[in-house]
Chain A
Amino acid sequence: MTTATDTAAASAKTPEETAAPDPARLRRRRRLAQWGFVAPAVVFMLLFFGYPLVRNVVMSFQHYTPKTFFTGEAPFNGTDNWSAVLQDALFGKALWHTLVFTAGSLLGQFCIGLALAVFFSRRFPLNGVLRSLILLPWLVPMVVSGIVWRRILDQDTGVLNTFLGALGLSGDTPWLTSPDMALLSVILVNIWIGIPFNMVILYGGLQEIPGELYEAASLDGASAWRAFRSVTLPMLKPVITVVLVLGFMSTVKILDLILALTDGGPADATQTLGTLTYQNSFVQLDFGAGAVVGNVLILISAAFAVFYLRANRTDGK
């Protein structure tokens, strides 16, 4: 974006400058200066994004094992890693879990976050205090929340089941210990973690909507629901896109929370692409296979990024 504005500014000025003594030299100097400004960013991108990305792609076609660290040799093995990983039943499972986890988490975080944001944009006593209390889950490190939730969700001694039991409800829910429940429980915990982030950003977006619009809407006889649909949502759209994109990026690559809660278990019920690439690379030390799963994750993110840019472009027009 910076480059675009720079060039635009530069070309806008050019007509005035043509009168100057040595236009060619000046232009060259300006070009150089422009590149000078861009260079640090380009170098940074190439070094810290380009190189690892390319390396990861290359690695997925190599037989990359502990021996490689000593000999420096990683023979190319064609698509062996890819076919091995893609044929592994666990990969399909992990892919499915990742999609369910991401969709479920985003849906829950967003809806609850939005509801809370709308709620807090009214004026009432203790609003500020409550709003800051809701931020707490965001402040707790992911691993800590994972460990605490693992205790809360324990089937026999967990607080949640004890509480449910005291209410006379089913106090014997196998939150993390049944393969059918575990993924849902992990999603619920992740929703809890994600609500503050969604709420804060959406709340900020709501403050930007001018109050007159609501006044106009109520003069037109719009109900609260109608005003929400026809004023709040359209005005909030750019913020919503940002929230969802950022949420997607941080959710699809989930690793730490799942490691702390279930370690991918029970019986692989919560394996995601993140835990699978970790397991391949750092438990089995088969770095080629780990790279394959990593690349799939990158592809998914890239596809989403393209989709996002498209949506933004049509927005601009």
Chain B
Amino acid sequence: MNSSTDETYHRWDAEAMARCGKRLGIRIEQQSVPAAQVMTKALRMASSKSLPDIVQFDASEMPTFAEAGGLVDLLTLGLETDGIPRGIVEFGSYRGTYYGAARSVNTLALFYDKDVLDRAGLEVPATWDELRETAERLTEGKRYGLALSAGGAEDGVFQFTPFMWSNGGDETELDGPRVVEALDYWKALLQDGSLSRSTVNWTQADVNDQFMAGNAAMMINGPWQVETLNTDESLNWGIARIPVPQAGDASVGPLGGAVLTVPKTGHEDRERTAGRVVACLTGEKEQLTYALNSWMVPAHEKAAAVWRDRVPGLGALADQVAEARSRTGRLGAGWSSVSLALQSAFQSALTGQSSEAALKRAQQRATSGNRGTRP
């Protein structure tokens, strides 16, 4: 079961599964449900003992299912982690156990309109100060310098993390000075007029629409938008790492993407076969095919190297992935409470409250909001 409800993704997955099925001499059936329903559907299936043999979870949801005791350790099924960068192994792990194998990963990067920057004679910004200045100078008439999503869902939190992390902030201490600084930076962009005030109501797809419509000269977004961006041939866009507070700082983005997991169904044979299917789907060759189709970065180092040669324009993305961090690495299943508290905090701050007060409240809410995850 996966969330490939888009025609293209469903087809790519079906083709990959057909190839792996042929190799292993089995038939693989694909079932796709909307991304937001994968977790609840899998839980319902668990209670009626009708779990599929393989479930593809969004990596930020996997810990919840693993914590409930629903997943099989992939290493016991013969999967290997050689050649996969440590960050990505952790991305698929919960409390040190490797439950989810990624085919590809994604992260956020700075997309920019090459023509607009050229005409203004500006360089691609690499630090926060440069970004602020460039964005301000590119803001003109109906066009904003920068677009990003601060919407009230996981989208907004995903976009806030690179600013929080690159500045040394941490999700376990939302009211820490580094997080406050990062939020103040967002506020400054808004006050400069470089960000639209609609930012708090935009999803990442909205941000992409704004960029494509020429309402923003730069945007923070992910590679899954590339397919849409390429439908407009007149748009000449480039991609760079997300700017960092000071030159020389590491640009730490959030790792995104899905992992393939094998739920505990109680049938050892089936679990072992499922392990072989996961191994095939996450093999170098399949990874590369999938990554080239979906514009995401292959998880495996060797596949990533080939990918980099094949799509040189997206090299910045591969760099960003190498430094990227998983959202659930520290908090595991507790991430969802923190995420909700954080959404409310940056929305309050962007609509007038002080960053410090908003984040202080968020920290209180996040720690008291963990009632569900504590036994």
Where the two chains meet, the residues of A that have a C-beta atom closer than 8 Å to any C-beta of B are 63, 65-72, 80-81, 84, 88, 90, 150, 154-157, 174, 176-179, 262-268, 279, 282-286, 288-289
Contacts and interface: CB of A to CB of B under 8 A. Distances in A.
Given A156-B215, A267-B348, A284-B369, A176 B68 contact: no
Contact of A156 (B142, B153, B340): B142
Given A266-B152, A288-B372, A69 B43 contact: yes
Contact of A262 (B36, B199, B201, B352): B201
Instruction: Give the top 5 A-B pairs by smallest Cβ distance, nearest first.
Output: A286-B372, A265-B152, A267-B348, A267-B347, A66-B68
A266 B200 contact: yes
A265 B372 CA distance: 23
Contact of A70 (B68, B337, B340, B371): B68
7 contacts: A65-B68, A69-B70, A156-B198, A157-B142, A267-B200, A284-B340, A285-B39
Contact of A266 (B44, B144, B201, B373): B201
Nearest to A179: B351
Contacts of A156: 142, 144, 196-198, 215
Central interface residue in B67, B348, B365, by most chain A CB within 10 Å: B348
B46 interface: yes
Contacts of B371: 80-81, 84, 286, 289
B152 A154 contact: no
Given A66-B67, A155-B197, A179-B348, A263 B340 contact: no
A153 B211 CA distance: 19
Nearest to B336: A284
Given A264-B152, A289-B371, A69 B197 contact: no
Nearest to B373: A65
Interface string B36-62: 100110011011000000000000000
Contacts of B12: none
Interface in B170-214: 196-201, 210, 213
A231 B36 CA distance: 53
Contacts of B64: 66, 285
A71 B64 CA distance: 15
A286 B372 CA distance: 5
B65 interface: yes
B69 interface: yes
A176 B201 contact: yes
A286 B371 CA distance: 8
Given A65-B372, A70-B47, A283-B340, A265 B347 contact: yes
Central interface residue in A68, A176, A263, by most chain B CB within 10 Å: A263
A9 B66 CA distance: 62
A265 B200 contact: yes
A285 B41 CA distance: 12
A84 B153 CA distance: 23
Contacts, number: 117
Contacts of A288: 372
Nearest to B153: A263
Central interface residue in A65, A80, A266, by most chain B CB within 10 Å: A266
B343 interface: yes
Given A177-B351, A262-B201, A267-B344, 8 more contacts: A69-B43, A70-B69, A155-B196, A156-B144, A177-B200, A267-B353, A267-B358, A284-B372
B151 interface: yes
Interface string B323-355: 000000000000011001001100110111100
Contacts of A88: 365, 368-369
A59 B240 CA distance: 49
A279 B43 contact: no
Interface string B63-94: 01101111000000000000000000000000
Contacts of B199: 177
Nearest to A174: B197
A263 B372 contact: no
A66 B43 contact: yes
Nearest to A287: B372
A265 B343 contact: yes
Central interface residue in B46, B350, B368, by most chain A CB within 10 Å: B46
A265 B201 contact: yes
A283 B337 CA distance: 9
Nearest to B45: A69
A70 B46 contact: yes
Nearest to A156: B196
Contacts of A262: 152, 201
Nearest to B361: A89
B64 to A, nearest CB: 6
